[in-house]
């Protein structure tokens, strides 16, 4: 069979997403971002699952319409089984099972973290996928992980965060600076006009390839408290310099561990995924590593970096080829390692 059509559903956090793939190419890839959480400065799980519930049916309709295919053409339904917020996962899982039963097509469970990595294999005329083995660093509001990718379904987590995700470090620091949620992109923006060497924030000492970001947030808090006590207008005056210094520190933390992984494993092919891969600091650091250290860096387009359903679909496609189907009883799994 050469024409495989997969409907993919992603609902692990606060984005409801649906995509249609024709083999390894995304015909449609739609995300409904839930803006309701902005007022709370972070994702409220109960509100997220309610919004998924409202979004999911119209979103799947839209994905089918944009792909210009009929649901009867679908070969399988792929869905995110985990990891994520359980209430959110339940919506996508239940919907995928019902549709699979209703249409009489197979069901395929997908691990969200594997999907971030395999998003690099979504067909795109402008770039080539990495070849095995490669190192993948998944950096977002929910994850910070370095993975050794030996094959499509042979991956090993080499290191991960022991506390906050790197995106949280951006967002929580941004909140302390009075910026709206999610503040990561704003820190990136203001950093461009600031002096990255004006302030110093500590680099955490963590063994091996693991990360820790909670200390950074605390040091930003104390730093701002100390400075605003001296000058109440400090944040306003120094915003760009603080953002630039903070971003420099975060990029340094990421690059230190990534470089260690490259050295430890002797693999210079490095792939980024996750929303923080949009950060200009980390992108520039990788470009420099390509030029100066002979690395080869892979960064997918932004719509495949942030949470999306096309990445769920590509895993679905590879599993379909491998006859790896799931039972209708498969439960959602909030904690689900690669
Ligand atoms: O992958 P994503 O959309 O959702 C998950 O968290 O899974 O990632 C969102 C995260 C947020 O923390 C956001 O602040 C961060 O990615 N982010 C950025 C940038 N763009 C998005 N952080 C720093 N610089 C950026 N340009
Ligand atoms: Zn994600």
**Contact (CB, 8 A) for 228 and 235:** yes
Nearest atom in ligand 1 to the alpha carbon of residue 188 is 24
Residue whose tokens read 């490259």: 262
Q: Domains, the chain, ranges and CATH? A: 5-120+305-321 (3.30.420.40), 129-299 (3.30.420.40)
Pairing type for strands 107-111 and 76-82 reads parallel
- Minimum mean pLDDT range among 26-40, 132-146, 192-206: 26-40
Q: pLDDT band at residue 42, thresholds of 50, 70 and 90?
A: confident
pLDDT for 297-329, tens place per residue?
A: 999 898 999 999 999 999 999 999 999 999 999
Question: What is the average per-residue pLDDT within 41-66?
Answer: 92
Q: How much distance in Å is there from the Cα of 176 to the middle of ligand 2?
A: 24
Q: Which tens digits make up the pLDDT trace of 266-293? A: 999 999 999 999 999 999 999 999 999 9
Instruction: Give the 3-state secondary structure of the chain.
Output: CCCCEEEEEECCCCEEEEEEEECCEEEEEEEEECHHHHHHCCCCHHHHHHHHHHHHHHHHHHHHHHHCCCHHHCCEEEEEEECCCHHHHHHHHHHHHHHHHHHCCCEEEEEHHHHHHHHHHCCCCCCCCCCCCEEEEEECCCCEEEEEEEECCEEEEEEEECCCCHHHHHHHHHHHCCCCCCCHHHHHHHHCCCCCCCCCCCCCCCCCCCECCHHHHHHHHHHHHHHHHHCCCHHHHHHHHHHHHHHHHHHHHHHHHHHHHHHHHCCCEEEEECHHHHCHHHHHHHHHHHHHHCCEEECCCHHHHCCCCHHHHHHHHHHHHCCCCECCCCCCCCCCCC
Within 13 A of 290's CA, how many CA atoms are on the CB side? Answer: 13
Establish whether residue 247 lines the binding site of ligand 1, counting it when its CB lies within 6 angstroms of any ligand atom. no
In this structure, the residue with its CA closest to atom 10 of ligand 1 is 141
pLDDT at residue 245, rounded to an integer: 98
Which of 42, 141, 274, when mutated, tests ligand 1's pocket best, judged by the most ligand atoms within 8 Å of its CB? 141
| Sheet of strand 296-298: strand arrangement | 154-160, 144-151, 134-139, 269-273, 296-298
Q: Percentage of residues in the chain with pLDDT exceeding 70? A: 100
ipTM here: 0.98
* pLDDT range class, residue 295, cuts 50, 70, 90: very high
Flag whether 233 is marked binding.
Answer: no
Q: Is the CB of 307 under 6 A from ligand 1?
A: yes
Entry pTM = 0.94
Across all residues in the chain, what is the average pLDDT? Answer: 95
> How far, in Å, from the CA of 330 to the mean position of ligand 1?
30
Q: Is 279 annotated as a binding residue?
A: yes
- Determine the distance separating the centroid of ligand 2 and the alpha carbon of 300, expressed in angstroms: 14
Q: Is 139 among the annotated ligand-binding positions?
A: yes
State pLDDT tens for residues 152-198: 999 999 999 999 999 999 999 999 999 988 899 999 999 999 999 99
Answer whether 188 contacts ligand 1 (Cβ < 6 A). Answer: yes
Residue 281 Cβ inside 6 Å of ligand 1? The answer reads no
Find the mean pLDDT for residues 22-41: 89
User: What's the 139 CA to ligand 1 centre distance in angstroms?
Assistant: 8
Ligand 2 midpoint to CA 305 (Å)? 8
Beta-carbon neighbours within 5 Å of ion ligand 2:
140, 307
pLDDT-based confidence at residue 1 (cuts at 50, 70, 90) = low
- Cβ partners under 8 Å of residue 305, min gap 6: 119, 272, 273, 274, 275, 277, 278, 299
Q: Which ligand is nearest to the CA of 168?
A: 1
For residues 136 and 133, what is the distance between their CA atoms, to the nearest angstrom? 10
């Amino acid at each position: 069979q050469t024409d495989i059509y997969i409907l993919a559903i992603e609902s692990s956090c606060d984005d409801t997403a649906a995509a249609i793939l024709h083999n390894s190419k995304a015909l449609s890839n739609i995300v409904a971002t839930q803006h309701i959480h902005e007022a709370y400065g972070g994702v409220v799980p109960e509100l997220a699952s309610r919004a998924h519930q409202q979004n999911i049916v119209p979103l799947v309709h839209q994905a089918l319409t944009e792909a210009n295919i009929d649901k009867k053409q679908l070969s399988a339904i792929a869905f995110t089984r985990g990891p994520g917020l359980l209430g959110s996962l339940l919506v996508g899982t239940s919907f995928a099972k019902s549709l699979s039963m209703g249409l009489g097509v197979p069901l395929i469970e997908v691990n969200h973290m594997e999907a971030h990595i395999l998003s690099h294999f979504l067909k795109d005329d402008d770039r080539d996928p990495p070849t095995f083995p490669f190192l993948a660093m998944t950096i977002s509001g929910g994850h910070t992980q370095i993975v050794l990718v030996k094959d499509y379904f042979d991956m090993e987590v080499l290191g991960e965060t022991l506390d906050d995700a790197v995106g949280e470090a951006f967002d929580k620091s941004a909140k302390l600076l009075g910026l709206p949620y999610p503040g990561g992109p704003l820190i990136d923006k203001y950093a461009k006009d600031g002096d990255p060497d004006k302030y110093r924030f500590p680099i955490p000492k963590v063994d091996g390839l693991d990360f820790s970001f909670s200390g950074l947030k605390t040091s930003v808090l104390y730093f701002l408290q100390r400075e605003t006590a001296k000058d109440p207008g400090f944040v306003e005056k120094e915003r760009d310099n603080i953002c630039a210094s903070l971003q420099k520190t975060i990029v340094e933390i990421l690059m230190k561990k990534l470089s260690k992984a490259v050295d430890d494993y002797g693999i210079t092919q490095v792939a980024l995924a996750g929303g923080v891969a949009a950060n200009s600091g980390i992108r520039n650091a990788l470009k420099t590593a390509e030029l100066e250290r002979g690395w080869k860096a892979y960064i997918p387009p932004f719509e495949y970096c942030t949470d999306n359903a096309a990445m769920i679909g590509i895993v679905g496609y590879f599993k379909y080829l491998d006859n790896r189907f799931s039972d209708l009883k498969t439960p959602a799994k909030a904690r689900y390692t690669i």
